[in-house]
Structures are given as C-alpha cells and as structure tokens.
Chain A
Amino acid sequence: MLRGVGLGLRWALAENIIERPPPELAFIEVAPENYMRRGGLFPASLSACADRWPIVTHGLTMSLGGVDPISPEYLATLASFARRVQTPWHSDHLCFTVAGGTVTHELLPLPFTAEAAEHVAVRVMRAQDALGVPMAVENISYYAHPGAPEMDEADFATAVVARSGCSLLLDVNNVYVNAKNHGFDARAMIAKMPLDRVVQIHVAGHDTSDPTLILDTHAEAVRDEVYDLLAFTLRKTGTLPVLLERDDNFPPWEELCAEVAKLDAIVRESTAPRDASENEWLSASALARQTRDGAR
C-alpha cells in the first residue's frame, strides 16, 4: 500500500533524487508521456528510481473530457508502461487536452454539467479497461468556466467517480487556487469532495504575482495556506500518499528536501489518532478505501 510523501521525477531533480534522496521519500510519481517511447537518459533514471521506490503514474494527455476518441496507440503504450512500472493506479485529469486532433498539452476546463460528467465517466471506464489498472481522476485548477455551471466542482467530481467507479486524486493546491480565483471556501469544497474515494493527494506551489488571478505553476514553494488545507484534508481522510509537485524554478535541493520533510510531518501529525469521534470517522474512511482496494 502506497504511503508517505513522494516526488515527481523531473529531469532537473533526477540526479539528486537518486544520489541524495530525502530520508522521508516514499514513492516516485512519473508522467508517462515523458518516458514512453523514449530511450537514453530518461528511462535510465526511471530504472534507477524503480529499483528503490514504488512508482505511480500520472498522465497529462489522455484527455478524459475530450470529444476526440482516446488514441488506441497511446492507450496501448500507456498500458505497457503501467505494467512495467507496476503502478498501483493511473491518474489523469478532469479536463480535456485534445481537440480536433490537436494535442494542446494544456489542462483545459470542462463545464460542470451532468452531460460532461457522464461523458468523462464513460471514457474513464473504457480507459480503465484498456489499461488494466485502476484509474483515478484529478481535480484541476481552472481559471474560467465555460458557460454557466450546473453544479460545483465537488459535485462534478462526485458524479464522475460514482458513475465510473474510479478513484480521486485530490489536488489540494488546485482547490485552494480555484477557491481564490472563483471566490468559494476551500475547506467547504474539500469537505464536499468524495473523500472516501481519494487514493492520493497532490500539493504544489502557486504564483500570486497577479492578485486578480492566482496561477497554478508548480514553480514556487508550497504556501502555508496549502499546508493547512492539506492537514485539514488528511484529518478527514486518514493517511494517504502525498505528492509534492515541483516542475519549474527549482530551489536548492536542501529546500526541496525540507519541503518533503515538512509534508511528512504534516501527514504523520494530521493522521495520528485524536479523539474518539474523529477516530470513528477516520476508520470509516479507511475501511471504505480498503474495501475498494480489496475489490480490485
């Protein structure tokens, strides 16, 4: 069972991860698109990591909400990759990235409608069948919503996971960014998410240089508000694997290691047993996950 704090395997971090890993590092997450159909240094780094840590895959371009068919070739290559690294699940985003044959390489927002939720759920089920591993969907940061929403983001995520049976990768930084950009309460949104379906959490930094629009850049340190939101989430879910996403503007390695250590402390502190009522909630949540895992 995957636990603890992980790091994304980025080229700029690979040497330090392999040579000087933080002691708390428990798993590695990779974007398969960066490793599939690729030789040379990248797969060599991945192999070095796979020898030491569990690998979990997190895709970027499946386009679960797209109307273009998901590429069979992409799915077949991904299935092979997922088997090779023995990922416990494969995650991708609640968004579309492909339109009219163009792969935009951007997580573009879906309308929060029943039609879109149904569309995504059906594609998740098909993808899951093709991949042969359980799937999780991640809530994205969205800067604008197309048209008028029929529901909020939590209800949309709930509809997708309920219909498809997939899990949720909860990005608490994305919830925070969306809350600031769209004016809702982040904790209330987290509490409304299908927390019993969460298998992994993401945290990251964001850019606040434009006060009218926070950008989810993964290029800054995690902010205290996001650490607090993570602790709030973990107190409700119980222990879950937490990934620190850092994709750009890399700090000195010691700073990143300190972030990993801080996250590890938060995971431990937030999921330590407290009073009876909270323990009861945690047990129920953990039981739900174990039942699901058992069903796989």
Chain B
Amino acid sequence: MSFLSYQAELRDALLASDPPDAAFAAFGAHPERWKVYRRMVRSRFADSIEHGFERLRAAVGADRFREIVWRFLAEAPPHSHYLRDVPGEFLRFFEKNCAALTRAYVLPAHALDLARYEWAELETAYSFEETSAVDVGPLDMHRTAVLSPAHRLIDLAYPVHRMGTAGHDETMQAAPFSLCLYRDAKTHEVAVLELTPVTAAMLSFVELRTSTLTEVVRSAAEAVGVTVDVAFVEALSTLLADLIDRGVLLGSLVPKETS
C-alpha cells in the first residue's frame, strides 16, 4: 500500500457505513486497533453534532439520529478545520437530503425548521465578523443602517424556538415565524426576538446595506401592505430604540471621507 493510497483508504475505512474487516487488515498488524481509530473519529463527530442539535436529536430519537449522522459521515464527510463547523456541514447534508431522510426515518414535520434554528443559535454564538467602530455613527434615517454582525434572521414554518430542550412536542402546529437571533455584547449569550412581518422585512432590507433607513422603512411597509402613519412612526421609533439598546442595530454607516 503506497503512502498516498494508505491515507485515502484509512479515511474510507474510518467513515464508511459498514467497512469489511479486510479493510482494516490491509493496514498491517493489529486490525482491531485500527477499529479503535474508527470509533474515536466517529464518536468525536457524533458528539459534536449531537451537542449542536440536542432538540433535533430528541425529536428524531437518539438511535435514528445517530443513523443519520453515520450516513452524513459516509456520504458527505466534514471538510472544515474547525470542529464547531461540523454541525453546520451536517445541516447542509440534512437540508439537501431532507425528503429522503424524512421518508427513511419518519421525521417530524418540524425537523428541518428545528435543525435550521439550532444551527442559527450556534452560528450566532460563534459569529466572528466585526464591524469597525470608525465606520458606524449615530443612527440616521438618511444613511444606511448597520446591524451587528452577530445576528441571524430566520423564517420558520413551525414555532420550534418555543420548544423546550427535550425536543418533544406532539402538538406542534404549523405557524409562520420570523426571528432575529443576536448575541448580547456583554454576556455573549444568544437571545431571540420574534419579529412582526414589517420588522422582519425591514431587517432583511437593512442586512443588504443598499438603502437608507428611510428607504428601508418605506420598502418594508410596502412589502407587507402597512400604511406609514403616525402610529407606525411612533412604533418604529420605539422599535429602533429597542434594537439599539439590545445591540442588534449598531447605528448608521459613516460616509467615507473623500480627499
């Protein structure tokens, strides 16, 4: 076995669903010890994924969830240098194969929403992008508003964010929700805001950083069919103050000085 083929064959033996004993015997003495590597690699990945998707695992059932993890490792093994990214890689596999997995493992209807929500929590907690303080000034309706990079907007068909950590909810009914997950700047804890349709639309437009806040508000109101009247403006003022207070909204972009 060449240096090159050894590495590829070992990887396959470690991650395949059911490798034959001969696959381990090919590496030399102590085939049982090569299986120890298989157990270590798979359990590390499984622990990382199960930690990331505690509620999904509970909702799906521990044994069925573990089978899906093994399929992920065999069919779409992780590529990230960062172990904390592996749940996200698992989510992409889960999303891509959701229909087949749902048929094979009889998954609950809210499974995909739950997976997306749990990963959004982790991704918000891990978020590392920074917005330079020198680029952001006080909130100005005539400038582009800036959200904290440590946030995620997510639309759900089921209220999975209201589930307990046990993951079981036999009575879960479909109901659309738009959420903003954000990381508290002081405690670093992730918090969740349920958004009204107009707020959800507005934050989606703010994310794009292509319009002034005035234009964003107008576009969001039009998108959801809301009249911009005095009551709306008063509510908007309260909302913006709250978002700034929570650190979700940082302020407005300061125009670059031209020389």
**Chain A residues near B (Cβ < 8 Å):** 33-34, 36-41, 43-44, 61, 66-67, 71, 74, 96, 99-106, 108, 111, 113, 115-116, 119, 143-148, 213, 215
Inter-chain CA distance A103–B1, complex, in Å, is 21
Contact status A40-B150, CB under 8 Å:
yes
Of B10, B33, B40, the residue contacting A99 (CB under 8 A) is: B10
B104-147 residues with Cβ-Cβ distance < 8 A to A are 125-130
Contact status B1-A147, CB under 8 Å:
yes
Known: A41-B188, A102-B77. 15 other contacts (CB 8 A): A33-B82, A37-B82, A39-B127, A39-B128, A39-B129, A39-B183, A44-B188, A67-B4, A99-B8, A100-B11, A101-B79, A103-B81, A106-B41, A144-B27, A147-B1
CB distance from A81 to the nearest CB of B (A): 11
Contact status A104-B11, CB under 8 Å:
yes
Sorted nearest first, the 4 A-B pairs with minimum C-beta distance are A99-B11, A144-B33, A39-B128, A102-B77
B218 at the interface (CB under 8 A from A): no
Interface mask (B147-167 → A, CB under 8 Å = 1, otherwise 0):
001100000000000000000
Contact status A147-B28, CB under 8 Å:
yes
Inter-chain CA distance A256–B37, complex, in Å, is 28
CB-CB < 8 A to B259: which residues of A?
none
Of A33, A43, A44, A143, the residue contacting B81 (CB under 8 A) is: A33
27 chain-A/chain-B pairs, Cβ below 8 angstroms = A38-B126, A39-B126, A39-B127, A39-B183, A40-B126, A41-B125, A61-B81, A100-B7, A103-B79, A103-B80, A103-B81, A104-B14, A105-B41, A105-B45, A105-B83, A106-B14, A108-B7, A108-B10, A108-B37, A143-B34, A144-B28, A145-B28, A146-B10, A146-B27, A146-B28, A147-B27, A147-B28
B157-199 residues with Cβ-Cβ distance < 8 A to A are 183, 188
Contact status A106-B78, CB under 8 Å:
no
CB distance from A6 to the nearest CB of B (A): 22
Residue among B129, B183, B188 with the most chain A CB within 10 A?
B188
Of B10, B14, B36, B78, the residue contacting A213 (CB under 8 A) is: B36
CB distance from A62 to the nearest CB of B (A): 9
Q: Given known contacts A39-B129, A116-B3, A146-B28, is B15 in contact with A102 (CB within 8 Å)?
A: yes
CB distance from A127 to the nearest CB of B (A): 13
B232 at the interface (CB under 8 A from A): no
CB-CB < 8 A to A101: which residues of B?
79
CB-CB < 8 A to A146: which residues of B?
1, 6, 10, 27-28
CB-CB < 8 A to B130: which residues of A?
39
Contact status B150-A102, CB under 8 Å:
no
Residue among A44, A71, A100, A119 with the most chain B CB within 10 A?
A100
CB distance from A140 to the nearest CB of B (A): 12
Inter-chain CA distance A238–B59, complex, in Å, is 57
CB distance from A289 to the nearest CB of B (A): 31
Contact status A106-B44, CB under 8 Å:
yes
Inter-chain CA distance A145–B10, complex, in Å, is 12
Inter-chain CA distance A143–B35, complex, in Å, is 10
Residue of A nearest to B34 (CB): A144
B23-75 residues with Cβ-Cβ distance < 8 A to A are 27-30, 33-34, 36-37, 40-41, 44-45
Residue of B nearest to A39 (CB): B128
Inter-chain CA distance A79–B248, complex, in Å, is 31
Residue of B nearest to A115 (CB): B3
Q: Given known contacts A40-B183, A74-B81, A104-B41, is B29 in contact with A144 (CB within 8 Å)?
A: yes
CB-CB < 8 A to A106: which residues of B?
14, 37, 40-41, 44
Inter-chain CA distance A111–B6, complex, in Å, is 9
Inter-chain CA distance A134–B78, complex, in Å, is 29
Residue of B nearest to A215 (CB): B36
Contact status A144-B30, CB under 8 Å:
yes
Inter-chain CA distance A73–B186, complex, in Å, is 30
Inter-chain CA distance A147–B188, complex, in Å, is 49
Inter-chain CA distance A38–B27, complex, in Å, is 37
Inter-chain CA distance A101–B80, complex, in Å, is 9
Contact status B129-A71, CB under 8 Å:
no
CB-CB < 8 A to B36: which residues of A?
143, 213, 215
